[in-house]
Amino acid sequence: MTKFKFPSAYTILFVLIALVAALSWVVPAGKYEMTMNQALGKEVPVAGTYKQVDSNPQGLVDVLLAPVDGLYNHETYEAGAIDVALFILIIGGFLGIVTKTGAIDAGIERVTDRLRGREEWMIPILMSLFAAGGTIYGMAEESLPFYTLLVPVMMAARFDPVVAAATVLLGAGIGTLGSTINPFATVIAANAAGIPFTDGIWLRVVMLVIGWVICVGYVMRYAKMVRQDPSRSLVADKMEENKAHFLGNKGQEMLEFTTTRKIVLAIFAGAFAVMIYGVAVLGWWMAQISGVFLAAAIIVGLIARMSEEQLTSNFIDGARDLLGVALIIGIARGIVVIMDKGMITHTILHGAEGMVTGLSTVVFINVMYWLEVVLSFLVPSSSGLAVLTMPIMAPLADFANVGRDLVVTAYQSASGIVNLVTPTSAVVMGGLAIARVPYVRWLKWVAPLLGILTVLIMLTLSIGAMF
C-alpha cells in the first residue's frame, strides 16, 4: 500500500487560491468609501459607508494569473512581491559566493567547537535579538537570509533545521506579536485609530516578555530532545539529505581559518549589520538592501580572487538554490490578489463590524481579537491590515467602553500570531522553504505553542478590558 504523501507548499497555496476564487462567486461584492489619511499617507475606509457593488467573480484564468499578479503592484494595501523575490535571489547569489570560499564552513566549525556542551544557549540569545528586531521595527522579510545562515550552524550543533527555523520565525514573530514601537504595525495602527502609539505600551511589553519566555522554552525543549534522540526530529526522514545539503564539508578535516576567510566572514557579518541599520534607521526597503548584498557579493568575489567566470557562475548557482523560495512568495501573494479582485475583502470586514456591535467589554475585545485573526489570514501584511481595519474597528471600542489602545493591541497580537503560520505570508513559506521544513509538519509542531500563546493573549486582553 502506497504511503500518503502530503502535497507540497506550492500545491497547498494553489488550492487556497482556487478556494478564495470560489468564494468570490458566493460572497457578495462590496466596498467602503475611502478617504486619504494624511498622517498615514494612505487611503483608509470610512466607517458606516459600506455598500454592495457589482460582483467580479474570479475564474480559472484569474487563478492562473494570480501568482504572476502577486509579484507586481496591485490594488491592495501593500506592494507586490517582486522586490522580495528579487531580494531572495540576490541573497542566494551572495551566499553562493561566500559558501564557495569555505568561510562559512570554517566559521561554523570554530563556533561549534567553542560552544561544545553549551550549544542550546544559542537559542535564547538569538531569539532575544530577533525579538528585539520584531518589536522595534517589525523584522519580517529581512529575516529570510538568517535561515540559510542558521540551519548549518544548528545542524552542526546536533540540532535540526526545525530548531533553526523556529529560532528565527518564532523569535522575530513574538517580537512582532508584542510590538512596542514597531512603525509598520503599532505606530500605523495607532495613527489610524487616532491615538498616540505609546498608549497601552506596558500591556504589550508584558505580552512580549512572557511570550518570549514561552517560545524560548518551547524551542529549547524540542532542541534538547532532538540532540538526545535524532530519530524524534520532525524531519528525521530527511536527515541525510539535509546533512548533504547544509553540511557539505561535514566529515572532512577542519578547514583552515585563513586570513582571507576571516575577511570574508567580516564582510558577511557587515552586510547583515548594514541591512539592519538601513531598515531600522534609514527606512530602507528591498531595493536598497538588495544592493547591499549585491555589492558585498562582488567584494567577496574579488577578495577571494575569483575570476569573472567563477564569480558569476557561483552567484547564479546560489540564486538557483533559492529560486523555489522566490516562486513561493509570488504564489502566496496571489491569494490576496484574488480576494481584492473579487471585491470580497471589504464585505468580510463589514461582517466583522456587525459582529462586535453591542458586546460587553471583555467579550468585545476577545471577539475583536478573533476577527482580526481571521482578517490576518486574508491580509498578511501588518501595515495593510492596520490601514484596512483600524478606521472601522477603533471607533466601535468607544461604544463598548474599551480603550482604543486595547483594540490596537488586539490587532497586532492577532496579526503576530497568525504570521507564525499563515500560508499567505512570504516570510513563513519562504523561511520554511529555505530551511527545508515541510509546511504541514511545521503546523503540527507549532500548534500547541499557538494554543498557549492564544490563552496568554486572551487573558491579557481581558485583564486590560477590566481595568
pLDDT in tens, 225-244: 999 999 999 998 888 888 88
Q: Are strands 34-37 and 30-31 parallel, antiparallel or unpaired?
A: unpaired
**Mean pLDDT value of segment 121-134:** 87
Least confident of 49-58, 271-280, 364-373: 271-280
Looking at the domain assignment, is residue 321 inside a domain?
yes
pLDDT at 76 over 50: no
pLDDT at 142: 73
Sequence-separated (6 or more) residues with CB below 8 Å from residue 413: 177, 178, 207, 369, 457, 460, 461
> Is residue 150 a part of any domain in this protein?
yes
Q: Total structural domains in the chain?
A: 1
User: What contacts 269, CB < 8 A, 6 or more positions away?
Assistant: none
- Please check the confidence at residue 46 and state whether its pLDDT lies above 50: yes
- The percentage of residues in the chain with a pLDDT greater than 90, rounded to a whole number, is 27
Nearest of 240, 268, 232 to residue 107 by alpha carbon: 268
| Residue 86 pLDDT greater than 90, yes or no | no
> How big is the CA angle at 285 (ends 82 and 387), to the nearest 5 degrees?
85
45 lies in a domain?
A: no
Question: Which whole number is the average pLDDT over 89-99?
Answer: 86
Partnered with residue 43 across adjacent β-strands are 36
48 within domain boundaries: no
**Which candidate, 196, 181, 189, places its Cα nearest to that of 132?**
181
| High-pLDDT (> 70) share of the chain, % | 91
Does residue 29 belong to any structural domain of this protein? no
Residues 255-281 have a mean pLDDT of: 82
- Which pLDDT band holds residue 255 (cuts at 50, 70, 90)? low
* pLDDT tens-digit map of 170-209: 999 999 999 887 877 888 888 888 888 888 889 999 999 9
Evaluate if residue 210 carries a pLDDT over 90: yes
User: Is residue 40 assigned to a domain?
Assistant: no
Q: Do the Cβ atoms of 286 and 86 come closer than 8 Å?
A: yes
Tell me: pLDDT of 7 over 70.
no
Residue 7 domain-assigned (yes or no): yes
Decide if pLDDT at 75 tops 70. Answer: no
**Confidence at residue 141, expressed as pLDDT on a 0 to 100 scale:** 74
What is the span of the domain harbouring residue 278?
1-22+60-467
Average pLDDT for the chain:
83
Q: Which residue has the higher pLDDT, 365 or 378?
A: 365
Instruction: Name every residue whose Cβ is closer than 8 Å to that of residue 89 and which is 6 or more positions away in sequence.
Output: 319, 322, 323, 326
Give yes or no for residue 131 having a pLDDT over 70.
yes
Q: Which amino acid is at 35?
A: T
Report pLDDT for 229: 93
**pLDDT for the residue 6:** 59
pLDDT of amino acid 414: 94
Q: What are the backbone angles phi and psi of residue 160, rounded to the nearest 5°?
A: -140, 175
Examine residue 343 and state whether it is found in any structural domain, yes or no: yes
Q: What is the pLDDT of residues 309-354, one digit of tens each?
A: 999 999 998 888 778 777 777 777 787 788 888 888 788 778 877 7
At a CB cut-off of 8 Å and minimum separation 6, what does 253 contact? none
| pLDDT given at position 4 | 52
Please check the confidence at residue 275 and state whether its pLDDT lies above 90. Answer: no
Confidence of residue 41 (pLDDT cuts 50, 70, 90): low
